[in-house]
Amino acid sequence: MQQRTNDEWLADLGAIGPAREDAIADLRPILLDGLRRGLTNWVNTSGPEFAPMAEDFVQEALLKILANLETFAGRSKFTTWAHKITVRVALTELRRKRWQDRSLDDMLSAESPFSRSFAADTPTPERATERTEMMAHLEQIITEELTDKQREAMLLVPIGGMPMSEAADRMGMKRNALYKLLHDARLRVKKRLEEDGLSAESILATFR
């Protein structure tokens, strides 16, 4: 891993092309390692569920870091600044999702969201109909709103359960690009749901 000064981090991450990709690839494990230490008092960082959770948090943080490079004042090491952003993103997400509760992203990331029930109970016929209609609506949105690439990524990773690295190879993409593609796809689905007058809370209530 290349050692960089603050100025070099800013220059490489602000560039276009291989220099930026290399810098992101170097920064990602630094953030993952720091997140494991930073969340010790909040979640079980040694459990098997932590790795995919941390990957999601780091990806969200990377997007925020890249969008706010100009705000780095240079009063600390760049990696320290980036680490603080990552922990802040993670804690915000943990509070929002309450982690143990099912979130809309969980629904969109389930192994087979259009063919399984999301509740452990046996629903009444009326509730079962509501659930079927809601999942059909989600499937329609994914079909109508997403690009071919976004649909393929959703089918391979969240729905099909394929590892991110394997899906990236299959699609001929870098993993960072696939993360961004999935992030944008989920945002488009959420935006369409909101336009249709559906909130995350109302959707989740259907499956409780």
Please give the Cα distance from 158 to 107 (Å, whole number). 9
Residue 72 has pLDDT above 70, yes or no: yes
Percent of the chain clearing pLDDT 70 (strictly above): 76
CB atoms near residue 79 (< 10 Å): 16
105 exposed, middle or buried (CB, 10 Å; 0-12, 13-18, 19+)?
Answer: middle
Give percent above pLDDT 90 in the chain.
27
For residue 83, what are the CA distances in angstroms to 7, 39, 169, 205, 207? 17, 11, 29, 35, 36
Q: What is the mean pLDDT of residues 94-119?
A: 46
DSSP 76: S
Q: Tell me what the mean pLDDT of segment 95-115 comes to.
A: 46
| pLDDT value at 69 more than 90 | yes
Q: What is the pLDDT of residue 120?
A: 40
Q: What is the pLDDT of residue 97?
A: 57
Q: Is the pLDDT higher at 73 or at 207?
A: 73
- Which residue carries 């079962």 as its tokens? 128
Q: Which of 172, 139, 182, 149 is nearest to 52 (CA)?
A: 182
> pLDDT for 84-101, tens place per residue?
999 888 887 776 654 334
Predicted confidence (pLDDT) at residue 38 exceeds the cutoff of 60 = yes
* Domains, in order of start, for the chain: 6-99 (1.10.1740), 105-206 (1.10.10.10)
> 130 vs 103, 112, 120, 125, 167, CA distance in Å?
18, 18, 16, 9, 33
pLDDT at position 99, please? 35
Residue 49 in this model has a pLDDT that exceeds 50:
yes
pLDDT, tens digit (0-9, with 9 covering 90-100), for 123-162: 567 766 777 777 777 778 888 888 989 888 887 887 666 7
pLDDT at residue number 101: 44
Task: For residue 163, give the nearest of 3, 51, 5, 8 by alpha carbon.
Answer: 51
Q: Is the pLDDT of residue 174 over 80?
A: yes
Confidence of residue 203 (pLDDT cuts 50, 70, 90): low
Average pLDDT, the chain: 79
Q: How many CB atoms lie within 10 A of CB 122?
A: 8
The pTM of the full predicted model, rounded to 2 decimals, is: 0.48
Out of 27-31, 37-41, 113-117, pick the least confident. 113-117
